[in-house]
Amino acid sequence: MASKDCLIIIPARYGSQRFPGKVLALIAGKPVIQWCWEAAVKAGLGEVIIATEHGKVLKFALSIGARAVMTSPRCQSGTDRVYEASRGTKAEFIINMQGDEPFMKASALVKALRKLKASPGCDIGTACSRIEDRKDIENPNCVKVALNAAGRALYFSRCPIPFHHPLSDLKGYPYYKHCGFYIYRREALERFVKLKPSPLERLERLEQLRALENGLKIAVAEVPALGPAIDVPADIGTAAVFLRKRSNK
């Protein structure tokens, strides 16, 4: 599903607060950012650009043959970095594929893009997967999403949502984990970055809540579970275990 109207930008911030330098941390001998870039290229949706604020990341990206650009260290979010890197391009759809999702699947990007294109009333596309591990439900680093019947996002939270009341008759109703990327229509991206950080965004530290609070609609495609994202140093070990299990299947 090659698409000339699509651009993938991977914001790769070296100065992460919870895990400085995480995009260059090694998983099975390969930096996190390289895993992300290879998955983005495999999707075949369009050009892939790594956007960073640090020379070490830029140097590494160029060494593997990736297109990379320096962006301002003043960017407040990954989306701000994506917007800066996208200026001067013409793609109608711009994918913000976060640089801490080493096990992103090309099929997830493709399905989410199809969902957004089939949802003319929506401004942004993303994906989710069913949570199978109970520990993820209580883990604040695992972002949950609640959906309406059409697959549009109602809310994202680090808390378990929707709450499962013990008296509810909906037994086995799933929790969904948000997958770490967004697909913006160009005009939606331009609108989003002009908005101030919203109260819910600042409370939960989730920038997608800025979109919802300001009336932007987010289409969510359900996809099979991805591997672990890298949020804190302990996630490197989790990723290594995931890789071993995957190779033994």
Cβ atoms of residues 172 and 164 within 8 Å: no
Cβ atoms of residues 45 and 6 within 8 Å: yes
Q: How confident is the model at residue 171 (pLDDT cuts 50, 70, 90)?
A: confident
- Give the Cα separation of 123 and 236 in Å (integer): 33
For the segment 192-244, what is each residue's pLDDT rounded down to a tens digit?
999 999 999 999 999 999 999 999 999 999 999 999 999 899 999 999 999 99
Classify residue 74 as exposed, middle or buried by CB count within 10 Å of its CB (0-12, 13-18, 19+). Answer: exposed
Residues 6+ apart with CB under 8 A from 23: 12, 13, 14, 16, 31, 32, 33, 36, 52, 57, 99, 100
80-91: average pLDDT: 94
For the segment 100-136, what is each residue's pLDDT rounded down to a tens digit?
999 999 999 999 999 999 999 999 999 999 999 999 9
pTM score of the predicted model: 0.92
Cβ atoms of residues 176 and 126 within 8 Å: no
**Looking at the domain covering 6-248, what would its CATH class be?**
alpha beta
* Domain chopping of the chain, boundaries: 6-248
- Give the Cα separation of 89 and 46 in Å (integer): 12
